[in-house]
Amino acid sequence: MREHADSGPAPASSDPTFTLIPSGRTLTVLGLTSLLFLLSTSAALVLDGVVVLLAFIDGRRTRAPTATREVPRISALAAVTDVTLTVVNPDRRTVKARVTDDLDPCLRRVPGSGDNDEWETGVAIEIPARTAARRVYRVTPRTRGFLRLGSIHLRTLSPWGLAWRRSTCEASDTIQVQPGVRDLLRARSGHAIRRRLRTPGPRRTRQWGEGREFESLRDYAEGDDPRTIDWKASAKRRKFVVRNYEAERSQNVVLAIDAGRHMRERLSAVRERMDYALGACMMLASRAQNFGDRVGVVVFDDRIRHVSPPRRADPPALARVLAGVETRLVEPNYPLAFATLGRTFRRRSLVVLFCDVIDGSVSRALVRSLARIGRAHLPLAIAIRNPELEAAAVRDVAGTEEAFHRAAAEEMVQARATALQVMRQSGIMVVDTPPGDTLVRTLDKYVEIKERGLL
């Protein structure tokens, strides 16, 4: 897990240290005075000294502006985010300055939008006396986590234009970058997800289906399961009456997140397999909140990275946890993960594992671990495919190298299919899904489990 950093803005303060840099005007004058060396060396040196002294005095009497920054506390992965710098001029004259700031390496300034191309060297800004000026630039987060923006750097032109005073305003702001569920909703299956989310309405919590808790009686309608007919009530009313059941509430859902090397695989230009899994986790937590279920979290790779005991679903708190999930190039330790899960979660729970399986030894360890916890819990594996790998396995070949690539892809696809089939034969529920459908298929399976009362 990435270390949680304070996401609130920190006040900026001017650095008492500063540096004076000769301006272009000073360098031009020094270049002209160098011609005096042809006539008199001593006169040229004296004149150069006078120019340097004037530049130093001019720079010393320059009052540096102060700067603050406004950033959103939360952003989505690959979303465009505005950052605002406010520069305040305390002087009684208009000053010219250049401003830039430090960015986390995983934040990229958006090119081609106004002054963005100039931010690396500093954007020119003119500030009237005793007023403030604002400059806005745009960034795109390239990874999840807590990304920090550092100090703000200023260069202020002196009154005579002979020197730049370089100063620093110490600042520290953090953007919490989440998986970006909205962008995933815009994908191919987004409309289906939105329809499902809107179905209950803002106040409705009942979910009729095949749950275990009796809710009410109603008249039989075509398509109803005959097993739900209440024969005694039907005999009294002289027409078929069926029982309504609502899904049980206050059950446990455990989000088991494999943060090993397979989840690090990039399935699109900006998203790893993990990003699709975390988006599905957020949607599942939101739905669990509607059902009144409790949600726990286990994040692991070769070690246990995070464990949250079951509690009332709190999507904002979960988002803070998931933003810090970091994948590593290690094999997942499934026996350790599920042994920890068994000790932490005593009550029967729906264990939703987000993973992918290709390696035979790893898949065997996964099957054994899931089968073991299946005695006390209900395991559900969400396996996220790699569309590029599947495409490579059926691609036409035109040479020896391409033939080797296709053969390797076919072998990996077959190994994955075999591993998933073994899991199904072991009684483990499996959802095999392409990345774009991870949210909707995870949500559908969870609702199905609740409505059928499988937990």
One domain for residues 155 and 255: no
Number of other CB atoms surrounding residue 372 within 10 Å: 16
> Sign of the C-alpha dihedral, residues 113, 119, 124, 126?
positive
- Tell me, what CATH number does 323's domain have? 3.40.50.410
d(CA 99, CA 166): 10
Counted domains in the chain: 3
Q: Is the confidence at residue 18, as pLDDT, over 70? A: no
Give the three-class secondary structure for 47: helix
Q: Report DSSP letters for 322-359, one per residue.
A: HHT----SS---HHHHHHHHHHH--S-EEEEEEE---S
Instruction: Report, as an integer, the average pLDDT of 294-307.
Output: 94
Q: Is the confidence at residue 205, as pLDDT, over 90? A: no
Q: How confident is the model at residue 300 (pLDDT cuts 50, 70, 90)?
A: very high
One domain for residues 327 and 415: yes
Instruction: Report, as an integer, the average pLDDT of 96-105.
Output: 91
One domain for residues 232 and 292: no
Q: Is the confidence at residue 138, as pLDDT, over 60? A: yes
Residue 169 maps to a domain: yes
pLDDT over 70, % of the chain: 84
d(CA 280, CA 221): 34
Containing structural domain, residue 363:
181-203+248-452
Higher pLDDT, 298 or 415: 298
In this prediction, residue 16 carries a pLDDT of 44
Give the three-class secondary structure for 436: helix
- Tell me, what CATH number does 31's domain have? 2.60.40.10
In this prediction, residue 145 carries a pLDDT of 83
Structure tokens at 440: 């909707």
In this prediction, residue 334 carries a pLDDT of 92
Q: How confident is the model at residue 126 (pLDDT cuts 50, 70, 90)?
A: very high
In this prediction, residue 305 carries a pLDDT of 94
d(CA 431, CA 441): 7
One domain for residues 261 and 410: yes
Of 5-14, 96-105, 362-371, the range with the lowest mean pLDDT is 5-14
317-344 pLDDT tens trace: 888 888 888 899 998 999 999 999 989 9
pTM: 0.73
Which of these, 230, 194, 224, lies nearest to 209 by C-alpha position?
224
Q: Where are the beta strands (DSSP E) in 332-441?
A: 349-355, 378-384, 429-433
One domain for residues 330 and 445: yes
Q: How far is CA 422 from CA 106, 333, 429, in A?
A: 40, 19, 11
Instruction: Report, as an integer, the average pLDDT of 297-317.
Output: 90
32-44 pLDDT tens trace: 888 888 778 888 8
DSSP secondary-structure letter at 314? Answer: -
One domain for residues 144 and 214: no
Q: How confident is the model at residue 244 (pLDDT cuts 50, 70, 90)?
A: low
